[in-house]
Structure 1
Amino acid sequence: MSLPAAFLDTVEHLIPRERRFDDPLSTLAFGTDASFYRLIPKLVIRVESEDEVATLLKAAHAQQVAVTFRAAGTSLSGQAVSDSVLLVLGDNWNGRDIRDGGKQIRLQPGVIGAQANAWLTPFGRKIGPDPASINACKIGGIVANNASGMCCGTAQNSYHTLAGMRLLLADGTLLDSEIPESVTRLRESHGALLDQLGELGRQTRANTELAARIRHKYRLKNTTGLSLNALVDYDEPVDILTHLMVGSEGTLGFISAVTYNTVPDHPHKASALIVFPDVETCCNAVPVLKQQPVSAVELLDRRSLRSVENMQGMPVWVKSLSAGACALLIESRAATQSLLHEQLAHISASIAGFPVEKQVDFSEDPVVYNQLWRIRKDTFPAVGAVRETGTTVIIEDVTFPVEKLAEGVNRLIALFDKHGYDEAILFGHALEGNLHFVFTQGFDSPQQVARYSAFMDDVAQLVAVEYGGSLKAEHGTGRNMAPFVELEWGSDAYQLMWQLKRLLDPAGILNPDVVLTDDPQLHLKNLKPLPAADEIVDKCIECGFCEPVCPSKGLTLSPRQRIVMWRDIQAQKRAGNDTRQLERDYQYQGIDTCAATGLCAQRCPVGINTGELVKKLRGQVAEHVKTADWLAENFHTALSGARFTLRAANGARRLLGAPRLSRLSAHLSKVSHGRIPQWTAAMPQPLKAISFGPASNDARPRVVYLAACVSRVMGPAAADREQTSLLDKTRALLEKAGYQVVFPENQDNLCCGQPFASKGYAEQAEHKRQELINALLHASRGGLDPIYCDTSPCTLRLVQDLAETRLDLYDPVRFIRTHLIDRLEFTPQDEPIAVHVTCSTQHLGESQALIDLARRCSKQVVIPEGIHCCGFAGDKGFTTPELNAHSLRSLKDAVQYCSEGISTSRTCEIGLSNHGGIDYHGLVYLVDRVTRPRNL
């Protein structure tokens, strides 16, 4: 059924075309969240303001159009998918207001949870909820699902730390609970609704049996159903309303902003891993620990430990644990180190009487406790990485009363065995009796669906009925537990939830079938396929953790969406369907606009680099093999051609002027579909080919200087205040530090192969890489001398599989911090500096080192928020400039007070200078400016 014409007319007049999506590629791409359900929306709208949402809700209310809200789409239970209209948050929902020295923070729903904590870090505070997905999930979803986490418990979740809320009701009416005038207006316009909420609260509190049941249920971690505790905890209707919104999963209204009472973020912490001989002993220790000053106690059964025992960095002894072993990962935090040590002594003494099979004592060493927490955090992806292609990973989330935890663990393990889920693992937040269990499930046959159905029926009966626990502790009810809400809560509470739903959403337009449903089989419908597509991405669980770092997200597709679409294309091909139009659309959306920098792999729980798939697809259509061969063998000629092009562009600038040339080249680039690069004022001037003389033999230590091809061709821009080339500046800095600088022979013909690899010519790329490695071996006297590479992307490509070559290779950051700091005296400048950490610097593990170096050079260092990749991606900034512009759309505002920016990639610096409005230079320019030789 199509959407009503009157609603579509409202949408078309309100929302620009570029923020409306109804084509098959976009609707399928957005029809995916982290759950195992898929619904394809008829229309996706990227909303950018509260007024837009209000107008759309009014129209949807009037025309009976179902609406679902989407923030990050990391929800696990099917809350963020729709077969009607999906409203996706755009860029303009990132506002924050830090109050009272960080004791409160007001946040808009598009803020990523980790970013909120980063803003609060200088105040020693954080938001209460700490979900495992905090680096990707957004405040809107955290509040709407009442997400919690490892340290949050129940006391620090969104419900209990809520200080105020701004929301839109189903009919578009606005309420800001912190503005008295807004509350007054709501009483005038919706007095009957508030009266009814107040009356429902009085009736619920008067029903002593129901009120007691509600209080009991929320003694546990519980997100099953609506937040009925609002009716017993508050008597003021506005307070009831705002607290009902917490955990309502978009079924009662739209959360436009939330104010949190923040909690302390203690700087001192220590962790220990205690392995007990059996489940009973392990679980019996939990109530004892609950009385101690612990911030987290995580349970890991033997299966979960087994799932990670072969991972790099895991303690060897994990493999030798007994079959029934069960572990607790314990963390304690404190404001001071002395208090922490006092707490650790109390904790250790409290469990000293329990038999222990193995343990890692409390450690404050970040290396040790990060490894311990890695054991816990890698369990979920470990199951995802070994699942059969075509199956999905399901993570469920239940709570047992803590005193029944041991029984609950053993009964769940018995259900895994009964239903044949041999790979299932069990872990969770033991202090709350909250257990996560992860298993793999196929849905491509009736037998598999029936197996899953029987298992879930047994789980529901065990947890909700036998033990009086909750079927959803922190992941939200969603679609997969909506049919079981009445079983858990009983008829009276369930009917009360329906009363609240009908009161606040009388037309039933908000996220129908989520939380509450009339369909007892809903959890078995609209199950998401995960068909084979390519071995590079087949392990993807579509969680969306990759999305925050993707430069093309919001312009075209994110890594998750690229995989979703490629899976669908391959499945449709196998089914004999015509995919030509989809593939044409995918060429630009999925392939041409992918930066292929691999940052997604750093965030992916199973390590998938979607850029590798894109490079492979580029390789399959790479038609100019002979040209690539010729360029590889005649690289110096190609560089001469690049210099000629830059010289011509510079001549055109002098002739036409920069503004006119910029407009003309933008037009030519567009009509040529990127074949003619776009000129900007940041375009470099050409460097003359440099002849490198033979190395002199003196007493100074030698360093081999590998100048990347871009450094040998691209000089400063005409308007740049720095007119010394990167090559000359680097050589001068190295010599200032007392080094003899030598160059590889035949340098103008050398290349790391990155330009070939990014275009899909893997063979030619590897040929150039090996040729360069051989030249560096010769220049460094067999690896005796360190090698300085002035561009971090080239360094990253070269260091792959370098173990057997004996080369001592450095990017600028690592060389300066390890070889130059002791040879130079630094006098930090007053002028503020912007720092861009390139993708390759992140992959090399030098991000913090770059920031630390910048702080050694300048008293004011700015690291722009939310920019993880500049999107220039080699030559994409020339051929697909919209990717670079989109990725850096917030840069100018962030760096407007800086005198310059620094980075470690010449091409990245072109785009950064263009979109930042300040000159970006290599790190060496800054270091050279603020240093003088140290007298050794």
Structure 2
Amino acid sequence: MSVRPRRADHLDLSPDYRSFHDAVRAFVPEERVFTDPLRVLAYGTDASFYRLTPKVVVKARSRDEVARILALASARGLPVTFRAAGTSLSGQAVSDSILVVLAGGFRGRRVLDGGARVALEPGVIGGEANQLLAPLGRKLGPDPASIHSCMVGGIAANNASGMCCGTAQNSYRTVDSAVLLLADGTELDTADPASRRAFAEAHPEIVRGLAELRDAIRKDPQLLALIRRKYAVKNTTGYGLNSFVDFDDPFDVLLHLLIGSEGTLAFLAEITYRTVEEQAHRASALVLFPDIGSACEATTLLKQDGQVSAVELMDRASIRSVEAKAGMPPGLAGLGPGAAALLVEVRGADAAELAEKARRATTLLAGVARVGEVAFTSVKAEFERLWDVRRGLFPAVGAARRVGTTVVIEDVVFPIERLAEGTLSLQALMRRHGYDEGIIFGHALDGNLHFVFTQDFATAAEVERYRAFMDEVCRMVALDFGGSLKGEHGTGRNIAPFVELEWGARAYGIMKAVKALFDPRGLLNPGVILNADPQAHLRSLKPLPKAHDVVDRCIECGFCEVKCPSRELTTTPRQRIAVLREISRLEATGDDEARRLRLLEDYRYDADETCATDGLCATACPVSIDTGEMIKSLRAARHAAGGGAAAVLAHHLAGATAAGRATLSLAAAGQVVLGDRLMGGVTRALRSASGGRLPQWNPALPGRSSRVRRAAPRAADRQVVYFPSCVVRTMGPARADPDQRSLHEATRSLLEKAGYEAVYPKGLDALCCGMAFDSKGYPALGAEKLSELGRALEEASRGGELPVLCDTSPCLHRMRKGLAGLTLLEPVELIHDHLLPRLELTRSREKVAVHVTCSAQKMGLAEKLVAVARACAAEVVVPPGVGCCAFAGDRGLSHPELNASALAQLRPGLPPDVRAGYSNSRTCEIGLTLHAGIPYQSIVYLVDRCARPRAAR
């Protein structure tokens, strides 16, 4: 790997931290221990409005590593915080000490009892766990809006719930057992009697102390009644005192105390859940009301009936923030100023049950004042759009904020019978304190409301405004309404100073006793849940200065990270933005110029060079921010106008592709003469001598492509303009590829079998979509080549009369974004929608793998690609956890470590009997072949091999 050399930044640490660092380095590789300014800053950000910069960041990969880290930290009295996905909203995942990062590891998963239970390590993404369980008709109980980004460790540690699970199916109610590590490294498996006995012998004070606290609570009628009342609704404020009421065995109490403890009591190394049924049939309706009172009246009726799965409330400001989004019904802009909406979902085991539940809900709603009719839809695309809009409410408000301000989301619960009164009181408070842009939405069935507003923390006056508002909100919710200050987001840092206000001195004392039992020295995630500082929620506030127009809307929620191919190698989109913001802040203030220069220097590799600019981050971002566009813009800013050598290449592309074919031919000859091992050694030496300037050869590198030869006109009833990309015109098959034809030859063969004549644009050898120039920071040259291509295709297609095929998915995606008036088809689309009905297919008996490129994902072609492969092969495998391959044109050759990191899960995800893979991008297939250990070629080859012309009927 050509990874940038690391520096010994730990020399600036205090003796205790330096000693810890050196001791950890004895068993954790250097590439997983960070003390450099860029990485510690990058990991000092979560989805909250707090920032703490850790002194040491360690990416742990095993239970043993965590145990040893904890023991080393404990021996030195150093605090430790655990971080999973960092989507937490209350500051639970940041630290100014030692941060242990679980993301990228702890992916173990075991389905138990036919899916009735599932054992998951904390690094498993919630959505992936549900994908594992889906074929069995099961799922996790918790369903937070961030489930496709957050991880099981965070779900359990925060007792996250969500839109459907309420209190009946959250982690507290569905946890079966856990494996945990105490602050001193002691391990306990709560499902193992032998482990329980060993733990009781090693820590009798914990077992005895829990029993004593249990008995003390049960002997106090007022405290017992308080706990029962508080947990009759959602509540994640403080520690889960209901554990002492609901369970007798101290080990069961211990297990349930850990749920929602936010890493302050122990490390959850594995959680076993009892799963819940995933009802196959769903229907949703967006119901509009003239006022909040009517919406809450409807909610009460639906809750009493008990047949609906979810009811999401949106106030008028919420509706206004999303009324123009795709999928929302017309007429929302005309609603009155006090209007509200409910997003209602029903589920059933079959269509009849679903219809009956929808009918019952519609009947109940008929008696409540509404605006418009109640219309349930069971069309997946339609109801998913509605729910996507609901999930994106929080980030959408944050994206619309004034640059430099922070978005704040709070999470409170009112008793359901006082929901309308509580909502109106909250609206009045927000207006009184000047938060007129704020919105209120939430899980109405549970009385659980989220309110979102934007806040400037740059001045003392603004911080004081926030303080006064939060003081009043907390007193209103906790004292006036007897509600919960946190319903599902966790106490974190922002509500820690108010836990005693909600619970009172007696209950708060019990919570302090719990913390003292597990962590007497306060080393696990200090400052979270319990905090004696009444101003703790006003400290370590995160700045969000202007950094770049493309990303200034980002609120650092972290939803993008799961899509990023460089997330395990260097940085993620969120981290790239956070670091650029700090660089911008330092430049604006003039503070610490040496630090700014160091961040800039490290940014070049850690953020720029290792960004694949694939744009998948935008598909996960609720406001569609493409961080790759920012990186390309930064690259362009470094280049002089005109592009120098790049311009020469663009203006002499025919010669450049000819030179490329010659180079590939020479490399293929060297491979034959020297063999893979010696060829690899020679090219690595040459690359090293060049300072990394020469690309890295690998055995999957293809040979030269044959020249595209125009066929004589033939009798065909259909025509298609065929544009073989410059990559396909340059790169042919690799030495080990099963089909040794160039892709353009296989494509033309398939077209002819389906009765299509291929028409080629004039000047083909010089044509290019310009993507390579654009991604390297030469947008003007990229636009020039794209425009040139557009003119040629316009002429060849007779002004758009004929469809246009491009055989490379990324190129076609770019063409669609930049060329108008043409029917542009990707190979999968053409095959699926047009060719298959005109072909006879003989299905192969083989099992094949399929890779959906990032561009194909963005064009929504995943299902069609799999369907085409299934039409040709007995079984199709899509390896889990593999997104963009990060080959990124030639970046897989210039930065092979990026491609290797992105595809680390590919080979483990392939069954041993898979012998071939198929995709739709020639360069991507190089990296896939290299890291899968099987050849990948275009899906065109598979279809052409199985196809013959359909017989006339």
Which residue of structure 2 aligns with residue 819 of structure 1?
834
Q: How far 1:651 moved relative to its partner?
A: 2.1
Contact 2:753 2:947 in 1 (8 A): no
Aligned pairs (5 A) from 1:358-437: 358-437=372-451
Match of 2:288 among 269, 275, 284: 275
Match of 1:603 among 608, 617, 620: 620
Determine the C-alpha separation between the residues in 1 that align with 2:684 and 2:59: 27
Contact 1:32 1:38 in 2 (8 A): yes
Match of 2:664 among 637, 646, 650: 646
Letter in 2 for 1:379: L
Which residue of structure 1 aligns with residue 141 of structure 2?
128
Which residue of structure 1 aligns with residue 637 of structure 2?
620
Determine the C-alpha separation between the residues in 2 that align with 1:887 and 1:667: 25
Aligned pairs (5 A) from 1:164-243: 164-243=177-256
Farther-moved stretch of structure 1 (374-383 vs 430-439): 374-383
Determine the C-alpha separation between the residues in 1 that align with 2:164 and 2:327: 24
Which residue of structure 1 aligns with residue 37 of structure 2?
24
Contact 2:706 2:742 in 1 (8 A): no
Which residue of structure 1 aligns with residue 4 of structure 2?
none
Letter in 1 for 2:625: I
Q: How far 1:231 moved relative to its partner?
A: 0.7
Farther-moved stretch of structure 1 (619-628 vs 482-491): 619-628
Determine the C-alpha separation between the residues in 1 that align with 2:198 and 2:160: 31
Determine the C-alpha separation between the residues in 2 that align with 1:212 and 1:669: 72
Which residue of structure 2 aligns with residue 483 of structure 1?
497
Match of 2:849 among 834, 837, 852: 834
Contact 1:547 1:558 in 2 (8 A): yes
Farther-moved stretch of structure 1 (369-378 vs 899-908): 369-378
SS in structure 1 opposite 2:376? strand
Match of 1:95 among 105, 108, 113: 108
Which residue of structure 2 aligns with residue 766 of structure 1?
783
Q: How far 1:211 moved relative to its partner?
A: 1.2
SS in structure 2 opposite 1:361? coil
The answer as to 2:650 corresponding to 1:632 is: yes
Contact 2:325 2:389 in 1 (8 A): no
Determine the C-alpha separation between the residues in 2 that align with 1:746 and 1:522: 67
Match of 1:785 among 792, 802, 808: 802
Aligned pairs (5 A) from 1:527-542: 527-542=541-556
Q: How far 1:700 moved relative to its partner?
A: 2.0
Contact 1:34 1:78 in 2 (8 A): yes
Q: How far 1:666 moved relative to its partner?
A: 2.6
Contact 2:828 2:865 in 1 (8 A): yes
Determine the C-alpha separation between the residues in 1 that align with 2:301 and 2:130: 31
The answer as to 2:335 corresponding to 1:321 is: yes
Alpha-carbon distance change, 793 to 9 in structure 1, aligned in 2, over 3 angstroms: closer
Contact 2:190 2:251 in 1 (8 A): yes
SS in structure 2 opposite 1:640? helix
Determine the C-alpha separation between the residues in 2 that align with 1:646 and 1:374: 46
Letter in 2 for 1:272: A
Q: Deviations over 1:715-764 (max 9, x none)?
A: 11112222111111111011011111111111111000011111111111
Determine the C-alpha separation between the residues in 2 that align with 1:375 and 1:916: 37
Determine the C-alpha separation between the residues in 1 that align with 2:848 and 2:262: 42
The answer as to 2:952 corresponding to 1:930 is: no
Determine the C-alpha separation between the residues in 2 that align with 1:203 and 1:665: 73
Q: Deviations over 1:666-686 (max 9, x none)?
A: 333344343211111101001
Which residue of structure 1 aligns with residue 51 of structure 2?
38
Farther-moved stretch of structure 1 (579-588 vs 524-533): 579-588
Q: Deviations over 1:315-337 (max 9, x none)?
A: 22111111111111110001011
Q: How far 1:418 moved relative to its partner?
A: 0.2
Q: Deviations over 1:272-315 (max 9, x none)?
A: 11111111111111111012310000001111001112234432
Match of 1:865 among 874, 880, 894: 880
Which residue of structure 1 aligns with residue 513 of structure 2?
499
SS in structure 1 opposite 2:162? coil
Over aligned residues, Cα RMSD in angstroms?
A: 1.3
Letter in 2 for 1:868: G
Aligned pairs (5 A) from 1:654-669: 654-669=672-687
SS in structure 1 opposite 2:58? strand
Q: How far 1:401 moved relative to its partner?
A: 0.2
Match of 1:910 among 914, 923, 926: 926
The answer as to 2:20 corresponding to 1:2 is: no
What percent of counterpart residues are identical?
52
Q: Deviations over 1:232-256 (max 9, x none)?
A: 1111111111110000000000000
Letter in 1 for 2:132: W
Q: Deviations over 1:386-436 (max 9, x none)?
A: 100000111111000000000001000001110011110010000000001
Which residue of structure 2 aligns with residue 775 of structure 1?
792
Q: How far 1:220 moved relative to its partner?
A: 0.8
Match of 1:47 among 60, 65, 84: 60
Alpha-carbon distance change, 402 to 475 in structure 1, aligned in 2, over 3 angstroms: same
Which residue of structure 1 aligns with residue 121 of structure 2?
108
Contact 1:3 1:65 in 2 (8 A): no
Determine the C-alpha separation between the residues in 2 that align with 1:674 and 1:722: 33
Determine the C-alpha separation between the residues in 2 that align with 1:61 and 1:307: 48
The answer as to 2:729 corresponding to 1:715 is: no
Q: How far 1:636 moved relative to its partner?
A: 0.2
Contact 1:202 1:235 in 2 (8 A): no
Q: Deviations over 1:46-95 (max 9, x none)?
A: 11111111111112222211000000000000000000000001533111
Determine the C-alpha separation between the residues in 1 that align with 2:406 and 2:579: 17
SS in structure 2 opposite 1:146? coil
Q: Deviations over 1:600-636 (max 9, x none)?
A: 0111122111000100111111247122222222110
Letter in 2 for 1:245: L
Letter in 2 for 1:91: G
Contact 1:305 1:375 in 2 (8 A): no
Determine the C-alpha separation between the residues in 2 that align with 1:495 and 1:859: 64
Determine the C-alpha separation between the residues in 2 that align with 1:633 and 1:9: 54
The answer as to 2:73 corresponding to 1:60 is: yes
Q: How far 1:584 moved relative to its partner?
A: 1.2
Alpha-carbon distance change, 218 to 551 in structure 1, aligned in 2, over 3 angstroms: same
Which residue of structure 2 aligns with residue 300 of structure 1?
314
Q: Deviations over 1:201-235 (max 9, x none)?
A: 11112212111111111111111001111111111
Contact 1:305 1:379 in 2 (8 A): no
Determine the C-alpha separation between the residues in 1 that align with 2:397 and 2:361: 32
Contact 1:669 1:879 in 2 (8 A): no
Determine the C-alpha separation between the residues in 2 that align with 1:720 and 1:9: 47
The answer as to 2:300 corresponding to 1:287 is: yes
SS in structure 2 opposite 1:62? helix
SS in structure 2 opposite 1:13? coil
SS in structure 1 opposite 2:398? helix
Aligned residues between the structures = 933
Alpha-carbon distance change, 435 to 671 in structure 1, aligned in 2, over 3 angstroms: farther
Which residue of structure 2 aligns with residue 514 of structure 1?
528
Q: How far 1:861 moved relative to its partner?
A: 1.2
Contact 1:167 1:253 in 2 (8 A): yes
Determine the C-alpha separation between the residues in 1 that align with 2:559 and 2:750: 40
Contact 1:2 1:42 in 2 (8 A): no
SS in structure 2 opposite 1:716? coil
SS in structure 1 opposite 2:26? helix
Which residue of structure 1 aligns with residue 10 of structure 2?
none
SS in structure 2 opposite 1:676? coil
SS in structure 2 opposite 1:255? strand
TM-score normalized with structure 1 length: 0.98
Determine the C-alpha separation between the residues in 2 that align with 1:670 and 1:201: 65
SS in structure 1 opposite 2:143? coil
Determine the C-alpha separation between the residues in 2 that align with 1:72 and 1:127: 18
